[in-house]
Amino acid sequence: MSIIQNKILWWESVEDAASYRIRIISSNIETPIISSFPFSIIPGTFEEIGSLVELEANISTLTVKPTDDGVYNIYITAVDVVGNESDPLIIPNVFLDFNPPNAPARGGFRL
């Protein structure tokens, strides 16, 4: 099992938001239709710090996620209690590395 480094994702909090939806979409898609893409709730600890929301996130635990290293756009939307969803905040051109290096091939003790 590989260990993928946790990252802290942050955005400005929205007063009427009951939750947030996060989408990770390849930057190769020129005009994504946001509503057609699945969203993921990232397990982690949301923390409101003043007007910011921070999420320490392990991207490897996303329910729907890309699996190839590459450049992605992150879309964050706010959702109110009745399910209305805002336009997205777009964080463009984020390089995400999902694949660890190979394990060492040999090792041991030297006397």
Q: Taking the domains of the chain in order of start, what are their residue ranges?
A: 7-96
Distance between CA atoms of 87 and 78, rounded to whole angstroms? 8
Distance between CA atoms of 96 and 69, rounded to whole angstroms? 6
Q: 0.75 exceeded by the pTM?
A: no
Give me 75's structure tokens.
């879309």
The pLDDT tens digits along the chain (111 residues) read 445 566 778 888 888 888 888 887 888 877 776 666 655 555 455 666 777 777 666 565 555 566 678 888 888 888 889 989 999 999 999 888 777 788 899 999 988
